[in-house]
Amino acid sequence: MTEHVLVTGGAGFIGRSVCRELLERGNRVRVLDSLIDQVHGGAGRPQDLPADVELIEADVRDGDAVSAALGGIDSVIHLAAEVGVGQSMYEVERYTSTNDVGTAVLFEKLIAQPVRRVVTASSMSIYGEGLYQTADGEIVQDAQRSALRDGLANWEPKDAEGRPLTPLPTPEWKQPSLSSIYALNKYVQERTTHIMAAPYGMEGVCLRLFNVYGPGQALSNPYTGVLAIFASRLLNGQPPMIFEDGGQRRDFVQVRDVARAFAEALVHPDAAGGTFNVGSGQHRSVNDVATELARAMGREDIAPEIVGKARTGDIRHCYCDPRLARDRLGFEAQEDFQEGLADLAEWVSRQEADDRVGKARSELEAHGLVA
């Protein structure tokens, strides 16, 4: 099935890859994107946004622009969002306005111009801490860490008796634990999608993305994905800056896999009404990933800087249980992590990036968000 698809936020890192995937499958693609400076640096239309994509430069909160963008559209992929856990904790109005109000505007306009299906990008951040189990084998959905102000002893979540919990792959049924404004925003986007779609004859789908990486990330944006932040530092001869002790574990998924997941979620008959994890199903420590990226970039001489402090809203371990997406959508990540790192390193070698990580850390510290 080929359609005319609107991709909000489609000029961004994930969006451009989604657009390419949709075009390869024979769809027509229109993008609504505000091209904000923090992501695009004032550069205008991205060079790697396919020429066949129609671009409308407008804010998703602009109702008239959204109505115009929906003209003749069959389905929507909703990616438009401010992204960044730390920044969301002090730019609360900006994040909530773009993410939650923007989603509300989109669905309000869809009342008069309904489409077949809306696929909304959510985030693993809504889980907070991932799923754990106790030494006795009991499942823990609400793992907590102590206030992190008295050092390394508190990095790992513990049970009521003070024993470390064991992390497990996190499934969609795990209860949310919203530990940042960004996480709250993404959960609101999810619920808005599911609440608004069916009553107006549409199908709603949400994809909870884990740590997406790949060529095309905004290297000068210090609030983007962790691999892009590390790459920017290494490109400028600076060590990757790692909070806590670097032992926190994450699931890294290549952007081409993510684009395939969106394309499948747009058409698969069993996707309607569902919420699905999109990750690789593998997990790595942040410290190991920083070391591997340095090796891929030929900068083995630059060791990561272990900050030994935590940021408000950060969690210890969260990685993907991919079984529901496999069973319901037939989606499995295919990209090899080492090959993905090599692709990222090769692309980064041809880029220039302003290293703004120090400034971002100073802003967090100034707001009391680093302990």
In the 3-class helix/strand/coil scheme, how is 70-85 assigned residue by residue? Answer: CCCCCEEEECCCCCCH
Neighbour order of strands in the sheet with 75-78? 54-57, 28-33, 4-8, 75-78, 117-123, 203-209, 275-278
Question: 4-366: which CATH architecture?
Answer: 3-Layer(aba) Sandwich (3.40)
Three-state SS at 46 = coil
Which one of the listed residues 95, 132, 182, 213 is annotated catalytic?
Answer: 182
Residues in the chain with pLDDT < 70?
A: 40-42, 146-153, 219-225, 352-371
DSSP secondary structure code for residue 200 in this structure: G
Q: Distances in Å between the alpha carbon of 342 and those of 128, 337, 339, 347, 352?
A: 30, 9, 5, 9, 18
Q: What is the pLDDT of residue 154?
A: 72
Q: What is the pLDDT of residue 362?
A: 57
| Annotated domain spans of the chain | 4-366
Alpha helices, DSSP H, located in the chain: 13-24, 37-40, 63-69, 85-88, 92-96, 102-112, 181-197, 226-235, 255-267, 286-296, 323-324, 337-348, 357-366
Cβ-based burial of 360 (10 A; exposed 0-12, middle 13-18, buried ≥19): middle
Known active-site residue 182: yes
Q: What is the pLDDT of residue 40?
A: 66
Q: Distances in Å between the alpha carbon of 178 and those of 85, 123, 126, 274, 327?
A: 11, 11, 5, 20, 27
Q: What is the pLDDT of residue 21?
A: 98
Q: How many whole angstroms separate alpha carbon 233 and alpha carbon 219?
A: 9
Question: Tokens for 298?
Answer: 């030929």
Three-state SS at 368 = coil
Q: What is the pLDDT of residue 221?
A: 62
Three-state SS at 212 = strand
pLDDT digits (tens, 9 = 90+) for 93-103: 999 999 999 99
Query: What pTM does this model have?
Result: 0.92
